[in-house]
Structure 1
Amino acid sequence: MVSSPHEAMHRIFQEYPGLFSRVSEVLGIDIPPPTSATLLPTDLTENSPVERRVDTLLRIETQDDGPFLLAIEAQGKKDLRKSTSWPYYVTYLHNKYGGLPVLLLIVCQDHTTAEWAATPITIGVPRWQTLTLNPIVAGPHNMPVITNVAEARKDLALATLAAITHADNPDVGAILKTLSAALREAPDNITEPIAELTAQGLGNRPAAQQWRNLVAVDTSFYTSFMSEEIRDEGRDEGRVEGQAKGILLVLEARGVPLTDEARKRIADCNDSQLLDQWIQRAATATSTDEVFADCH
């Protein structure tokens, strides 16, 4: 099952496509600032029984060097299967999009996984490497530890990603307190997705409860579907019903058209994992078809 931290580590780039420009600057990679970024379909499946799907895919335009594709993968642990999947992603996208340059960004939350992910993947024989893949890796080893409120306010998206990647840092309490304080005077349309992405990125770590307490005290916007679910999470009864209501509330609040059939499908669903997936999609979807995509 896809975890909440996994979703947050790549979905933040969907919410803030320009974030990669600041991440690359932090990592010391010389990439021109983007003039625009477009979210692209993530399905890389061909006519074969094997489904391949990148976590997030962006087409980024730059003024000087032209467009490139940015494939973003959230990686929670070592997975030797990625040594075949990641080169496939890059070569497939390069072919599908007419030879556009492709960059692969891996976002991690622990040093061991980040070190493994940064290892170049080579295809060939010892005397001749046909292909070498060099992923860009963002993790606790190179993302900034932001404990200055003014610095966090300058770039809330970067501060959020940094907090997520430092979820296991012994000083995560100071990092989260800084981010929460930085949100105090921000408008609701900025604070809500950041608060929810941070909660999602912390997963079930002890720091997650600390973040919930900080946000509840430091901000006044704490009324979104995720916060209501957090407050009620100790109640055993009506969990699935609450998830369904949360999805409907989010879609209605965002002005997404809802047919009677769609309402019934959501209300009648008793699969908690599937409802969690729909909740995540409801935060960015423009139609119920996007919410239900690939769900039969």
Structure 2
Amino acid sequence: MVSSPHEAMHRIFQEFPELFSRVSKVLGIDFPQPTSITVMPTDLTETKPVERRVDTLLRFETESAGAFLVAVEAQGRKDLAKPGSWAYYCSYLHEKYGLPPLLLVICQDRATAEWAAEPFHFGHDAWTTFSLYPLVVGPHNMPVITDPAEAREDLVLATLSAITHAAHPEVAVILKALSTALRGMPEDLVNPVVEFTAQGLGNRPASHIWSKLVAVDLSFYKSPLSEEIREQGREQGEVQRGARDVLTVLEQRGLEVSAHVRERITSCEDPDELHNWLVRALTATTAEEIFGDA
């Protein structure tokens, strides 16, 4: 399973391109309602020596204002070289398609979002040739959705909100609202929501919360991804039980368990290793002996 938050933050717009209209309302910008949306090729390479590739590219058709392009970029940290690439993307798209380009940057931390939202000026100190004004979405301006009813009203926006608030103190409540809202929804909607949420959380502690919620709240739902998440949860539970069993045997036998030994046992993620320690714990004369260290 791809677990990169970078992928989730922009690919959700490929799966649900209409999400841009909802995001623009969150940002307080009233773009014309699209009559059609096209997911376009992301390769902006002009010559072979230099490859330029935007994360996601969308074309919006409207009745009142014609067509425009939206380049979606997922940004995980400050990168001083990125504004130059963004400026290139917008200039190239304008020249290639002859359409107004917009840049939407998705972030998961406030510092990166605030940096990305700054106007980037290009030119000499004495004169600015042009300026770049990205649209930026992040934890600083996305709604915190903790009500399942509110999440159910717009599951796709709720998914993006959960991804951008992956480090929020109430992320457990946010994810619970999303998993509850998914109950009874069509599988073709549940599947990408489960996938993008899992990807967007990455290796953060919140990913374990989501795994448990998928296993419990969405136990009815079957897909390769949901089964993989459940399997990860089962493996984690097996490890936790194994560590608990080792400690129980040591304590029942009256052996002193130091903080170092306890930490080593509880931090072990190998079920086979924990089983070996459990066997040794039955006959060891000290807690340290279970590790079999020379």
Check whether TM > 0.5.
yes
Distance 2:150 2:221 in 1: 23
* CA 235–50 in structure 1, closer or farther in 2 if over 3 Å, else same: farther
Q: Tell me the residue number matched to 1:227.
A: 226
Q: Tell me the residue number matched to 2:38.
A: 38
* CA 190–88 in structure 1, closer or farther in 2 if over 3 Å, else same: same
Q: Tell me the residue number matched to 1:100.
A: 99
Q: Tell me the residue number matched to 1:127.
A: 126
Distance 1:233 1:199 in 2: 12
Q: Tell me the residue number matched to 1:278.
A: none
Distance 2:174 2:37 in 1: 29
Task: Check the 8 A contact 2:106/2:136 in 1, yes or no.
Answer: yes
* CA 197–64 in structure 1, closer or farther in 2 if over 3 Å, else same: same
For each residue in 1:224-247, what CA deviation from the matched residue of structure 2 results, as whole angstroms up to 9, or x when unmatched?
Answer: 2222333445899xxxxxxxxxxx
Name the SS for the 1:43 alignment partner.
coil
* Amino acid of the structure 2 residue aligned with 1:112: A
* CA 175–149 in structure 1, closer or farther in 2 if over 3 Å, else same: same
- How high is the TM-score relative to the length of structure 1? 0.76
Q: Tell me the residue number matched to 1:146.
A: 145
- How high is the TM-score relative to the length of structure 2? 0.76
Deviation of the 1:179 alpha carbon: 0.5
* CA 235–169 in structure 1, closer or farther in 2 if over 3 Å, else same: closer
Q: Tell me the residue number matched to 1:88.
A: 88
* Amino acid of the structure 2 residue aligned with 1:116: W
Distance 1:135 1:29 in 2: 13
Distance 2:56 2:108 in 1: 17
**How many residues matched?**
234
Distance 2:192 2:120 in 1: 35
Deviation of the 1:222 alpha carbon: 3.7
For each residue in 1:88-123, what CA deviation from the matched residue of structure 2 results, as whole angstroms up to 9, or x when unmatched?
Answer: 0000000000x2000000000000110111111111
Q: Structure 2: which 5+ runs fail to align?
A: 236-294
Task: Check the 8 A contact 2:215/2:230 in 1, yes or no.
Answer: no
The 5-angstrom pairing of residues 1-296 of structure 1 reads 4-97=4-97, 99-233=98-232
Q: Quote the RMSD (CA, aligned, Å).
A: 1.7
* CA 3–78 in structure 1, closer or farther in 2 if over 3 Å, else same: farther
Q: Which moved more, 1:213-222 or 1:112-121?
A: 213-222
* CA 177–146 in structure 1, closer or farther in 2 if over 3 Å, else same: same
* CA 19–172 in structure 1, closer or farther in 2 if over 3 Å, else same: same
* Amino acid of the structure 2 residue aligned with 1:153: R
* CA 121–181 in structure 1, closer or farther in 2 if over 3 Å, else same: same
Q: Which moved more, 1:200-209 or 1:225-234?
A: 225-234
- Alignment identity in percent? 67
Task: Check the 8 A contact 1:104/1:136 in 2, yes or no.
Answer: yes
Task: Check the 8 A contact 1:108/1:114 in 2, yes or no.
Answer: yes
Deviation of the 1:221 alpha carbon: 4.7
* Amino acid of the structure 1 residue aligned with 2:34: P
* Amino acid of the structure 2 residue aligned with 1:133: L
Q: Tell me the residue number matched to 2:286.
A: none
Q: Structure 1: which 5+ runs fail to align?
A: 237-296
Q: Tell me the residue number matched to 2:259.
A: none
